[in-house]
Structure 1
Amino acid sequence: MVEPTASPTTTYPKARTCPFSVAPEYSRLRAEEPIAKVSMLGGNSAWLVTRHDLVRQVLGDTRLSSDRRRPGFPRFTVNQQNVFQDLPPSMIGMDPPEHTAARRAVLGEFTVRRIEALRPRIQQIVDDRIDEVLAGPRPVDLVAALSLPVPSLVICELLGVPYDDHEFFQQRSSRLVHRSTPFDERVRAVRELRSYLDDLVAAKERELPDDLLGRLARKQLESGGIDHPALVSAAFLLLVAGHETTANMISLGTLALLENPEQRAAIVADPAKTLPAVEELLRYFSIVEGATSRVALEDVEIGGVLVRAGEGVMALVSAANRDPEAFDRPDELDVDRKARHHVAFGFGPHQCLGQNLARMELQVVFDTLFRRLPDLRLAVPVEEVPVKSEATVFGLYELPVTWGEERTCE
């Protein structure tokens, strides 16, 4: 066993230099120092784990806590631990047994069977948005026209949130996932979102409608009483996570398929290939990093390195999903790859609750978009597409596209 390094060897995070690749430093670390001490942007230090097998080990180890309020938790921003300090933890920040109970309470809402029942409505939402795209001017920003509204509409309907309020939560969740957001703005965004959801959940508890929050409230009532703070925390996580991640994957996946026309043609010719293509796109981009951070509750050995109790650990899924020991030619996009063992949705007890919903949304979007706009193309050079290099959820700010006879931006 190797004793811990006395001081950090590099800083974290590193910006992506290209939407199609991870930061070069992460590839170097995975090859030379797969568990390395790094300095965090928020002021403390943590262990960065980059190898696929070690990332799975970290994410499956209950000796590593997800509680963001603990002092040693990796800090992506200054005062990060103070943002949620006085608020009940959401599911993503819980440990067993609280996490086990909270996850079990909502797991039934995200089974393959229940999500499959949503397919006709998701298809209608996607078709309606593409109808508007086709009826409008060219070029169009596909982020604003498709990527953001589709998952927003889906999660609003699922939770029973009025879609007229979508700009309110989109703006605030966007502030939360940008590392450059000042501390006071971050706190204000959290409190405004929770205040909104507090009122919404209270209404669900009174009316018990047949939507996700209403069903959860009814289930709690039948079990002996409603836990209002727990419902608000669940709503907060599902609302923010339910649209931010999928929206960015729609944009990035579309960009990748536009830049790889032969792979786009493969899924158009055979829609059975779309779901495997979705898995490959999830692996290829691996847009979420902060959700897989932990802090050691006791001394833990990871990859032959001793991590002391109280030290932070980050399982870097973007590096793990480009590990050549786990994936052949990992830096290539291959829609025929069998990539189901990727860790883009995490691994272990905290594996993404909404992954079945995300997969279906992406499948429906890509099948429908490229069927209805077979000559869709970028309206600007790919290097001019603006990327969210400073966000904890990677994505695109805009995706200018056009189709038909026009070939340049007006």
Structure 2
Amino acid sequence: MTQPVDAAAAHAELPEFPMPRARGCPFDPPPAFHALREEGPLTRVRLQDGSTPWVVTRYAEQRTLLADPRLSVVPALPGFPRPERPHADADGDTAHGEGDEASAEAHGLSFINMDDPEHARLRRMVTGPFAIKRMEAMRPAVQKIVDDMIDDLLAGPNPTDLVESFALPVPSLVICELLGVPYDDHAFFQANSKAIITRTSTPEQRAEAQGRLGEYLGSLLDAKLGNPGEDVLSDLAAKVEDGALTRREATSMAVLLLFAGHETTANMIALGTLALLEHPDQLARLRDGDDPKFVAGAVEELLRYLHIPHLGMRRVALEDIEVAGRTIRAGEGLLLLNEMGNRDPDVFPEGDRLDLDRDARRHITFSFGVHQCLGQPLARMELQVVYGTLYRRIPTLRLATGLDRIPFKHDSFVYGVHELPVAW
């Protein structure tokens, strides 16, 4: 797209995205995000490939645009923003890696990279298992998983890495039970999930990891055809048998559910725990209370305050759109920074402060509109059980190292910590 003369002249002056977080402030968005918000709800940034998408930093405009069908989530469309750094191939050309909203062809992440009506058709196939009532029915089983893992934690070494000993196994066990995947294979799917989301992985490494997961889950789907159970993979296999889904569509859905069902929740458990340990007054409120409504509200506040997918929600305009006095032209990309929308002072006063008594239910951590997160009822229920149990059962839980020595996932599309040494 030809840029106006003034835009071309100002191109080099635009801030480069993504931007680093401030040292010592691992829970806060990069300071430059605040500067962008001060400029207005829509501003421009410059990506590594030279493109200059719009950045949307305020809550009202984010909600408006996320509900607008004139925005597309299809990464293959021209203008779709790619904030990740390009990788050089053997010939010196650059190829762009794929992120959490990567192409379905490259990652098999199915309907999350499709627009309606195809998105709606495929999403309906897996809506039922994640309904709120079904998630609530799973709560006792999740509570047992959490209690058993805490028993093992207390019986094991002290100090320990909470990521490996608790934060990762809990959601892995839960999603395996829901999908019908053998937990004995968790090391395999966790390693391949990590290869997909690590920003330093090459496109080839991501494609290979996706292929391995696809082959693995495809074979499980085939096995479910002859021996179905009470699980999501069996439901998908039945839809393949009925002709409602192709085997490839079902496999892509299974990869998405397995990947998304443990990776984001695991990081939220660990990062949320670290945030609470760094805010002892808030941790005490959660640890010493037993009101389920307060625990549920605390989960919403932690979801608002922290942000796991930390490169924003990406879209491209299909038509010209007028918003906030600006014209987004067809073919222009957008980065909607919901971590900034979640701290918009017009919606969440003192939004940079963690306050478990805050009513944070309007946050857009799970996005908004037709593409909001399918698995949010599962994530909420798991986090309510974890946050309502872990600190009560281990009231002396503390960091076993300094905050400055915690390795954060700046190298990943999914933010969190690589390790969380704790003691009690």
The TM-score with structure 2 as length reference comes to: 0.89
1:247 aligns with 2:247: no
Aligned with 1:354 (options 367, 370, 375): 375
- Specify the alignment match of 1:392 in structure 2: 413
Residue 221 of structure 1 deviates from its aligned partner by 4.0
Which letter does structure 1 place at the counterpart of 2:192? R
Structure 1 contact 68–81 (Cα < 8 Å) conserved = no
1:10 aligns with 2:30: no
- Specify the alignment match of 2:89 in structure 1: none
Aligned with 2:254 (options 235, 241, 244): 235
Q: Secondary structure at the match of 1:133?
A: helix
How is 1:151-300 mapped onto 2 (pairs within 5 angstroms)?
Answer: 151-219=171-239, 221-222=241-242, 224-272=243-291, 273-290=294-311, 292-300=313-321
In structure 2, list runs of 5 or more residues that go unmatched.
Answer: 87-94
Give, in whole Å, the separation in 2 of the partners of 1:15 and 1:205: 48
Give, in whole Å, the separation in 1 of the partners of 2:54 and 2:74: 16
Structure 1 contact 258–264 (Cα < 8 Å) conserved = yes
How is 1:106-125 mapped onto 2 (pairs within 5 angstroms)?
Answer: 106-125=126-145
- Specify the alignment match of 1:127 in structure 2: 147
Residue 183 of structure 1 deviates from its aligned partner by 2.4
- Specify the alignment match of 2:159 in structure 1: 139
- Specify the alignment match of 1:59 in structure 2: 66
Of 372-381 and 11-20, more deviation after overlay is shown by: 11-20
Residue 194 of structure 1 deviates from its aligned partner by 1.7
Give, in whole Å, the separation in 2 of the partners of 1:44 and 1:178: 22
Structure 1 contact 274–363 (Cα < 8 Å) conserved = yes
Residue 65 of structure 1 deviates from its aligned partner by 0.4
Which letter does structure 2 place at the counterpart of 1:16? R
1:25 aligns with 2:45: no
Which letter does structure 2 place at the counterpart of 1:257? L
Residue 172 of structure 1 deviates from its aligned partner by 1.4
Which letter does structure 1 place at the counterpart of 2:418? Y
CA gap 1:31/1:381 in 2 versus in 1, 3 angstroms: same
How is 1:370-409 mapped onto 2 (pairs within 5 angstroms)?
Answer: 370-403=391-424
The TM-score with structure 1 as length reference comes to: 0.92
Give, in whole Å, the separation in 2 of the partners of 1:96 and 1:86: 17
Which letter does structure 2 place at the counterpart of 1:229? R
Of 70-79 and 132-141, more deviation after overlay is shown by: 70-79
Aligned with 1:91 (options 95, 101, 111): 111
- Specify the alignment match of 1:406 in structure 2: none
Which letter does structure 1 place at the counterpart of 2:56? V
Give, in whole Å, the separation in 2 of the partners of 1:142 and 1:176: 23
| Greater RCO, 1 or 2 (C-alpha within 8 Å, sep 6+) | 1
Q: Secondary structure at the match of 1:237?
A: helix
CA-atom RMSD in angstroms: 2.0
In structure 1, list runs of 5 or more residues that go unmatched.
Answer: 404-410
Structure 1 contact 71–81 (Cα < 8 Å) conserved = no
- Specify the alignment match of 1:73 in structure 2: 80
CA gap 1:379/1:289 in 2 versus in 1, 3 angstroms: closer
CA gap 1:401/1:148 in 2 versus in 1, 3 angstroms: same
Residue 205 of structure 1 deviates from its aligned partner by 3.0
Residue 86 of structure 1 deviates from its aligned partner by 4.3
- Specify the alignment match of 1:336 in structure 2: 357
Residue 146 of structure 1 deviates from its aligned partner by 0.7
Q: Secondary structure at the match of 1:306?
A: strand
Structure 1 contact 69–85 (Cα < 8 Å) conserved = no
Structure 1 contact 92–291 (Cα < 8 Å) conserved = no
Q: Number of paired residues?
A: 400
Deviations 1:67-117 (A, max 9, x none): 112122111333347874745661210100011111122111111110011
- Specify the alignment match of 1:407 in structure 2: none
CA gap 1:89/1:391 in 2 versus in 1, 3 angstroms: closer
Deviations 1:201-239 (A, max 9, x none): 2222333322012123324545x5542121111111111
Residue 343 of structure 1 deviates from its aligned partner by 0.6
Q: Secondary structure at the match of 2:356?
A: coil
Q: Secondary structure at the match of 2:357?
A: coil
Deviations 1:48-69 (A, max 9, x none): 1111111112211111001112
Residue 323 of structure 1 deviates from its aligned partner by 1.1
